[in-house]
Structure 1
Amino acid sequence: MASGSDIEASGKEVEVVYSENVGVGKSIPVNAYRFQDPEDDNAPKSALEKRLLLKQDLLIVPLAALIYLVTYLDRNSFGNGKLLGLTKELHLDANQYADAAQLFYVGYVVFMIPANIILRTIEPYIIFGAAIISFGTFLCGMSAAKNFATVLVLRMLIGAGQAFVQGIGMSTSLWYKRREIALRGAIYYSTATLSGAFSGLIAYGIGKNMTNTSRSPWQWLFLIEGLIAVGSGILVLALFPPFPDKMKNGENWLFTKEEIELAKERSKSFNTEGSKFEFHQVIAAIKDPKTWAYAFMNAGIGMCLSTVSIFLPSFIADFGYTDLNAQLFSVIPYACAFVILPSCAFISDKINKKGPFIIGGLVFACIGYIILLTTAPVGAKMMATCFITSGLYTCIVLTVTWLGINTGGFTKRGFTWGVAEVFAQVFSIMGTKLYKYPPRYLQGHSIMLAFLLFATLNGALLWWWMAYCNKKKDRILEEYASRNEVHPHAEKSLEEVYDYHIYFRYTL
């Protein structure tokens, strides 16, 4: 098979043999090939490409992991703060606590789509670094809250700040190929599961050792985790790289010019160099039924994930554990997810399939909620929480990946993910209102189960539809080949015709 560099150099039509993920064999012009992932993606890489990937993996992935760690550390702090005396000291009833929990998502929803769209306008290190510093500062401020109103305002501001860091998946899509994203995404997103464990351990340590100090335990929790975020934001601001096609002089402190040129070439597997905000892509995303299928699927996953992050310690406490031990035992489900998530992502990249793993994760989460709805023994219920967290975290990472690698056009991709996240956060607001009736929380668990079943249906429909579209494109190309004609899309980029491009194939 001809390599991307061979095709780039020739400037002529060449015979390209496609894999299942690309299409049928055909003579096509140069620019019809650039955004494809050829079959030799798994072939031995050059020394230059190995060096580039190593640098990316040692810089971008750890920084992305740090971003997710502090983001979810701060997000989980509200649930842990409740068990450390937040509601008692500020005299918050169940409705007020739920209101404060949901205000986070209001701030998040308002800024989610703009945050994704401006990614190609403002440098990512500025967006991510400033956002982390902001929500870390707001969390520190919440440690000094004296009343319900202050908690409401600061929760909304924390949500607004966190909306700007969710573009990390879109950012990495300009550095990695389609078959490289899921594993990296799982590695850095798995720190979100790790943050749940860390948050539980930090809360346990504070509750055990810092009860007789000048501050209440919940205040120490918010102050410590907020300061961790501020320090992390400064680090991200200093180290996170610009996009490859926007680096001054084509290099920076870590990457050489040759490596950046290769990074830009690799990015063409499903990106267009110099892409910017295009309003027509927003319209295309709105008209695309896949946008709404992703949105409804993400709504169910996001709503369940958000309620788990807030209420998991309460679920475990109601299994019969003390508040302090519930903090400690909340580590177990997150530890399970930390192992399961990267394992599934690794296999999904190897076999180049995402849909089966997403649907499988949804089914496992559904089983977990069914167990919680029964009168099963405590051990079974702890296992159920492991099913839920492992299934949900696997689904959220692979859904982001599935959406990203199957949406052509950077603005369309960003808008589609923004819509999916808005749906998730809007439904998360509703989710925070559903867990009012302990100890079994039958209402909340039943509604979570129903939405996960609906998400499973949407995932199955997406899987079927994209497989149908791939076969349809193959048939069309065969018809053009039989007439010895080249399809009009051969001269167009993904920025012009998006994932409808005749040579683009969806990853199933």
Structure 2
Amino acid sequence: MPISTTPPRFSNSHSRAESSQSESSLSSEKVKDDIKDVVQEVLPTVKDVEATSVAHDDKERSRILRKMDLRLLPFVSILYLLSFLDRSNIGNARVAGMAEDLNLVGLKYNVAAAVFSIPYALVEVPSNIALKLFRPSIWIPSIMLAWGIIMTLMCLVNSYAGLIVARLFLGVAEAGLFPGITFYLSHWYPRRKFAMRIAIFFSAATIAGAFGSILAFGIEKMDGIGGLHGWQWIFCLEGLATVVVATLSYFFMYDYPETASFLTESERRHVVEMLKEDSRSLATGFDKRYIFQAMTDYKTYAQIGIHMGLLITAYSISLFAPTIVHQLGFSSAQAQLLTVPIFACGCCSTIVIGILSDKFNIRGPFIIGCALVSMVGYIVLYTTSTPGSGYAGCIIAAVGVFPTVPVDLAWIGGNVGGTLKRGVAIAMVIGMGNLGGLCSAFIYFDGPRFHHGHGTIMGWLGLSILLTCFMMYDYRRCNEIKEALCQSEGIDESQSDAFAELGDDSPLFRYTT
């Protein structure tokens, strides 16, 4: 997909009307002129007001953030653990005998794994808009209850067609959770504290991979009980667990800091002020033009390309790790258990990289470095024919790719100004990125070496690396333009309200690289 290198422009109809050049031909100097035009229009309406931001004690801020962590992160991590467990347990079910019972010959399993991604990608943007309109404590538990019921009823599937239909409905129901929780957390944490929290949240996916394999190993032994196969019990029991947690979520999920009952009145004011300072007073209301801003921003589509390459890799590991390990020469039971260290190592690296990314307040270099590590793992898998080396390659690939997903999401969420635009941009990136699930479902068909699959993954990782380099350069260039403009026009934080509707095009907004 071609990516425009046009720098961001303000939504100024006067400037657009007078512009006679195509967008692609705009130089940095032209963008600077456009921004000046808007500033000249806005500044006369700005009243002289004193900055209202209050200097908060770092210890107090850290204490409140830890309090929020203890209340929010374990809960949302459990939600995502169940979500990832329910979408990826088809891989465990396949090894547990589903392929033979449903006669999943040829590419039938690949199709069943892939169809989930289609509704999943299409529903994510509408779901995040609904999350903005409705309370999170209502919307998120409701979609969770829906997919829990679907997963439970998948134990009754007895044909290939039934499996396809169930996976389609599962994709519709699960679509809103991942982008919804990412958007939800962005209402609680400032941008510089975001990557570690997303990493902890996303690490639930790696735990789900490890826990799912152990669980499948035990549940598989229930084969024949109640007239169900072992793989059917996997769907049934894991679905029932989701239903129980979803029901409890209606009573234990908080909405936003302004109404959080676990915070005192002074703590709520502290958090609200902290987030206001971090957002540079950008718009928080619902307006359709913010949806349009997100959908027409070239940076959104560049981030989609980055995220797609990373997600295809992560999904491939989640869907095919048991199969890849099994094809290396290990038995079915051994493959289920040997998958656990792969996800456990991925979980540890995800949290460590998230902490380091927040500490240094950089995103791009960590994405590039981890993607290169993952590529090394796939090179090992591509070139080796021995079980030990192949298994080591699986671990290296997981250690590299899993941390890139939360860091990239923190990068996306932190570089989009305004809550609604941020919610739509996050949903677009995750939704369209998840279309990569279609790719990951069909590239692993030539076992035991899987040259097509491993080679395709290396190509996608390479694309993510190149686009990350481009976005680091572009964000840095845009920041330089804004800094020069603020200096020349005397723009400071006291005028932030005047630029609230401009989102990340505001001259006061700075991108993280």
What TM-score does the superposition give when structure 1 sets the normalisation length?
0.86
User: Offset of 1:361 from its aligned partner?
Assistant: 1.3
- 112-121 vs 272-281, greater mean Cα deviation: 272-281
User: Offset of 1:381 from its aligned partner?
Assistant: 1.7
Counterpart pick for 1:195 among 175, 194, 208: 208
> Could you report, residue by residue, the CA deviation over 1:95-129 in whole angstroms, capped at 9, with x for unpaired residues?
22111111111120121111112222111121211
Equivalent-residue separation in structure 2 for 1:446 and 1:221 (angstroms) = 32
Equivalent-residue separation in structure 2 for 1:271 and 1:117 (angstroms) = 22
Counterpart pick for 2:293 among 284, 299, 303: 284
Alignment partner of 2:508: what SS?
Answer: coil
Q: 1:260 maps to which residue?
A: 268
Output the aligned Cα RMSD: 2.3
Q: Are the counterparts in 2 of residues 80 and 200 from structure 1 also a CA contact under 8 Å?
A: yes
Q: 1:210 maps to which residue?
A: 222
Equivalent-residue separation in structure 1 for 2:176 and 2:435 (angstroms) = 16
Residue 107 (structure 1) aligned with residue 113 (structure 2)? no
User: Offset of 1:29 from its aligned partner?
Assistant: 7.9
User: Offset of 1:233 from its aligned partner?
Assistant: 1.1
Q: Are the counterparts in 2 of residues 183 and 346 from structure 1 also a CA contact under 8 Å?
A: yes
In the superposition, relative to structure 1, how do residues 99 and 469 fare at CA in structure 2: closer, same or farther (>3 Å)? same
Question: Aligned letter for 2:113?
Answer: A
Q: 2:336 maps to which residue?
A: 327
Q: 2:377 maps to which residue?
A: 368
Q: Are the counterparts in 2 of residues 300 and 427 from structure 1 also a CA contact under 8 Å?
A: yes
Equivalent-residue separation in structure 1 for 2:100 and 2:251 (angstroms) = 40
Alignment partner of 1:337: what SS?
Answer: helix
Q: Are the counterparts in 1 of residues 282 and 500 from structure 2 also a CA contact under 8 Å?
A: no
Q: Are the counterparts in 1 of residues 367 and 404 from structure 2 also a CA contact under 8 Å?
A: yes
Q: Are the counterparts in 1 of residues 280 and 496 from structure 2 also a CA contact under 8 Å?
A: no
User: Offset of 1:495 from its aligned partner?
Assistant: 4.5
Equivalent-residue separation in structure 2 for 1:370 and 1:298 (angstroms) = 21
Q: 1:168 maps to which residue?
A: 181
> Could you report, residue by residue, the CA deviation over 1:49-77 in whole angstroms, capped at 9, with x for unpaired residues?
45532331111111111111101111221
Q: 2:170 maps to which residue?
A: 158
Q: Are the counterparts in 2 of residues 368 and 384 from structure 1 also a CA contact under 8 Å?
A: yes
In the superposition, relative to structure 1, how do residues 30 and 369 fare at CA in structure 2: closer, same or farther (>3 Å)? farther
User: Offset of 1:203 from its aligned partner?
Assistant: 1.0
> Could you report, residue by residue, the CA deviation over 1:302-332 in whole angstroms, capped at 9, with x for unpaired residues?
1222222111100000111011110000011
User: Offset of 1:94 from its aligned partner?
Assistant: 3.1
In the superposition, relative to structure 1, how do residues 495 and 100 fare at CA in structure 2: closer, same or farther (>3 Å)? farther
User: Offset of 1:290 from its aligned partner?
Assistant: 0.9
Q: 2:140 maps to which residue?
A: 128
Equivalent-residue separation in structure 2 for 1:108 and 1:29 (angstroms) = 47
Q: Are the counterparts in 2 of residues 408 and 494 from structure 1 also a CA contact under 8 Å?
A: no
1:241-260 matches, within 5 Å, as 241-245=254-258, 247=259, 252=261, 254-260=262-268
User: Offset of 1:402 from its aligned partner?
Assistant: 0.5
Q: 2:325 maps to which residue?
A: 316
Alignment partner of 1:330: what SS?
Answer: helix
Alignment partner of 1:353: what SS?
Answer: coil
Equivalent-residue separation in structure 2 for 1:504 and 1:273 (angstroms) = 9
Counterpart pick for 2:510 among 499, 505, 508: 505
Residue 61 (structure 1) aligned with residue 73 (structure 2)? yes
Q: Are the counterparts in 1 of residues 280 and 508 from structure 2 also a CA contact under 8 Å?
A: no
Residue 400 (structure 1) aligned with residue 406 (structure 2)? no
Q: 2:486 maps to which residue?
A: 477
Q: Are the counterparts in 1 of residues 283 and 501 from structure 2 also a CA contact under 8 Å?
A: no
Counterpart pick for 2:427 among 413, 418, 429: 418
Alignment partner of 2:471: what SS?
Answer: helix
Q: 1:7 maps to which residue?
A: none
Question: Aligned letter for 2:188?
Answer: W
User: Offset of 1:465 from its aligned partner?
Assistant: 0.8
In the superposition, relative to structure 1, how do residues 290 and 489 fare at CA in structure 2: closer, same or farther (>3 Å)? farther
Equivalent-residue separation in structure 2 for 1:138 and 1:271 (angstroms) = 43
Question: Aligned letter for 2:288?
Answer: F
Alignment partner of 1:85: what SS?
Answer: helix
Question: Aligned letter for 2:93?
Answer: G
Question: Aligned letter for 1:504?
Answer: F
Structure 2 stretches of 5 or more lacking a match?
Answer: 1-45
Question: Aligned letter for 1:113?
Answer: V
User: Offset of 1:376 from its aligned partner?
Assistant: 4.8
> Could you report, residue by residue, the CA deviation over 1:406-436 in whole angstroms, capped at 9, with x for unpaired residues?
1101122112112212222212112212212
Q: Identity of paired residues, percent? A: 28
Q: 1:305 maps to which residue?
A: 314
Q: Are the counterparts in 1 of residues 493 and 508 from structure 2 also a CA contact under 8 Å?
A: no
Q: Are the counterparts in 2 of residues 196 and 334 from structure 1 also a CA contact under 8 Å?
A: yes
Q: 1:14 maps to which residue?
A: none
Moved over 3 A (4+): 28-35, 49-52, 271-274, 485-489, 491-495
User: Offset of 1:453 from its aligned partner?
Assistant: 0.4
Q: 1:459 maps to which residue?
A: 468
Equivalent-residue separation in structure 1 for 2:446 and 2:498 (angstroms) = 54
1:220-259 matches, within 5 Å, as 220-245=233-258, 247=259, 252=261, 254-259=262-267
Q: 2:30 maps to which residue?
A: none
Equivalent-residue separation in structure 1 for 2:370 and 2:498 (angstroms) = 34
In the superposition, relative to structure 1, how do residues 335 and 477 fare at CA in structure 2: closer, same or farther (>3 Å)? same
> Could you report, residue by residue, the CA deviation over 1:393-415 in whole angstroms, capped at 9, with x for unpaired residues?
11110011000011101122112
- 463-472 vs 309-318, greater mean Cα deviation: 463-472
Q: 2:106 maps to which residue?
A: 94
Question: Aligned letter for 2:417?
Answer: G
Q: Are the counterparts in 2 of residues 409 and 494 from structure 1 also a CA contact under 8 Å?
A: no
Counterpart pick for 2:59 among 27, 36, 45: 45
- Count of residue pairs the alignment pairs up: 465
Q: Are the counterparts in 2 of residues 32 and 503 from structure 1 also a CA contact under 8 Å?
A: no
Equivalent-residue separation in structure 1 for 2:451 and 2:130 (angstroms) = 41
Q: 2:366 maps to which residue?
A: 357
In the superposition, relative to structure 1, how do residues 303 and 33 fare at CA in structure 2: closer, same or farther (>3 Å)? farther
In the superposition, relative to structure 1, how do residues 168 and 84 fare at CA in structure 2: closer, same or farther (>3 Å)? same
Q: 2:15 maps to which residue?
A: none
Equivalent-residue separation in structure 1 for 2:140 and 2:483 (angstroms) = 41
In the superposition, relative to structure 1, how do residues 128 and 272 fare at CA in structure 2: closer, same or farther (>3 Å)? farther
Residue 450 (structure 1) aligned with residue 459 (structure 2)? yes
Alignment partner of 1:502: what SS?
Answer: coil
Equivalent-residue separation in structure 2 for 1:170 and 1:241 (angstroms) = 14
- 324-333 vs 255-264, greater mean Cα deviation: 255-264
In the superposition, relative to structure 1, how do residues 219 and 493 fare at CA in structure 2: closer, same or farther (>3 Å)? farther
In the superposition, relative to structure 1, how do residues 45 and 146 fare at CA in structure 2: closer, same or farther (>3 Å)? same
